[in-house]
Amino acid sequence: MNSKALPRQVNNIEVGVYECEIHLKFRLIEEKSILGDRDQLLQVLLDALTEGSDEFLETLQSSVKAHEISELKTSPEMRRQLMRLRNCTDNCQ
Amino acid sequence: MNSKALPRQVNNIEVGVYECEIHLKFRLIEEKSILGDRDQLLQVLLDALTEGSDEFLETLQSSVKAHEISELKTSPEMRRQLMRLRNCTDNCQ
């Protein structure tokens, strides 16, 4: 078994790398000027979704998935971050 | 032209009803205990996405759409909310 593919304990907290997928359809009452800025569109929609469904937002479709993957499949930057977390486990306690 | 299908001015701010779709795939470093709670999964992922891409999150695929629709297509609750906003326009200035 390749130990690099296993989740690690970080300060006694078990962390892992997850591949996640969110697919949402919803209707939203919003100011036209706010939704007109395409660069900020994702952030505006995420903010609205974080507040949850109310009279301003109705969910039409929601699919959310997350499954753990081997960290070997991730980018060098993400692996470096995991190594930093691990080094902290060794040196920060 | 059906005036009910048009966007309205609310306190001089033009609002509309938008049909939105978000489809995101990404990898995330997260505590296993946090992602294990399926009821909170969407909220946890939205919080992570709101913070943006960093060493803990890498985006694999991102599709974000929003287009204005006729408010006649929305739910009675959402239409009531629009009426409240309009009444405020008439009475709150």
Tell which residue, B32, B51, B71, has the closest CA to residue A29: B71
Residue with tokens 């190594």: A83
pLDDT tens digit sequence for B18-52: 999 999 999 999 888 888 777 789 999 999 998 87
Token couple for A88: 């902290």
ipTM value of the model?
Answer: 0.78
- The CA–CA distances, whole Å, from A22 to A61, B19, B27 equal 11, 16, 12
Tokens of residue B37, six digits: 């709670």
Distances (CA, A) of A72 to A4, A13, A64, A78, A81: 7, 20, 23, 10, 13
B61 beta partners: B25
How far is B15 from B9, CA to CA, in rounded Å? 6
Check B82 against A29: CB less than 8 A apart.
yes
- CB contacts of B69 in chain A (<8 Å) are 27
For the segment A19-57, what is each residue's pLDDT rounded down to a tens digit?
A: 999 999 999 998 888 887 777 899 999 999 988 777 889
Shortest alpha-carbon distance between residue A87 and chain B (Å): 16
Write down the pTM of the prediction: 0.77
pLDDT digits 0-9 by tens, A3-14: 444 455 555 678
Report the residue of B11, B12, B29 to disrupt the A interface, i.e. the one with the largest count of A CBs within 10 Å: B29
Question: What is the sign of the dihedral through the CA atoms of B42, B47, B50 and B55?
Answer: negative
Question: CB–CB of A74/B28 below 8 Å?
Answer: no
Residue B75's contacts (CB-CB under 8 Å, 6 or more residues apart) are A27, A58
Q: Which B residues in the span 27-86 are in contact with A, Cβ-Cβ below 8 Å?
A: 27-33, 35, 41-43, 45-47, 49-50, 55-56, 58, 60, 62, 64, 66, 68-69, 73-75, 77-78, 80-82, 85
